[in-house]
Amino acid sequence: MYGVSAANRGLNVNGFRYTNEILDDLEVFLSRERLGTYLDATRNDREGAVRLHVWNTAASAAFYGPLQGLEVALRNAMNRMHGER
């Protein structure tokens, strides 16, 4: 579905590599249920699933600042409209 393949497994961040022991621990800490969607997307490639989970977390974090600004702008606009009544 997301096109995560074994070819992507060679990628690492700051030289970090996922060992089987680390993947086992992450599966326990994050839960198999939480990783289920990512495992389905990567055809049960555990490392690919964890990398996809990490990417999703980073993508979500990238939206936090703009969404926070939108929230403030929306609340200010609503406050201005309420004050005009």
Tokens standing for residue 50: 């964890």
DSSP-derived letter for residue 68 is H
CA angle 29, 20, 17 (to 5 degrees): 95
What is d(CA 49, CA 82) in angstroms, rounded to the nearest whole number? Answer: 47
Amino acid at 83: G
pLDDT beyond 80 at 70: yes
Query: Given this model, what pLDDT does residue 58 score?
Result: 92
Amino acid at 56: N
The per-residue pLDDT for range 6-54, each reduced to its tens digit, is 445 554 555 678 999 999 999 999 998 999 999 999 999 999 999 999 9
Q: How many Cβ atoms are within 10 Å of 41's Cβ, its own excluded? A: 17
Query: Given this model, what pLDDT does residue 13 score?
Result: 52
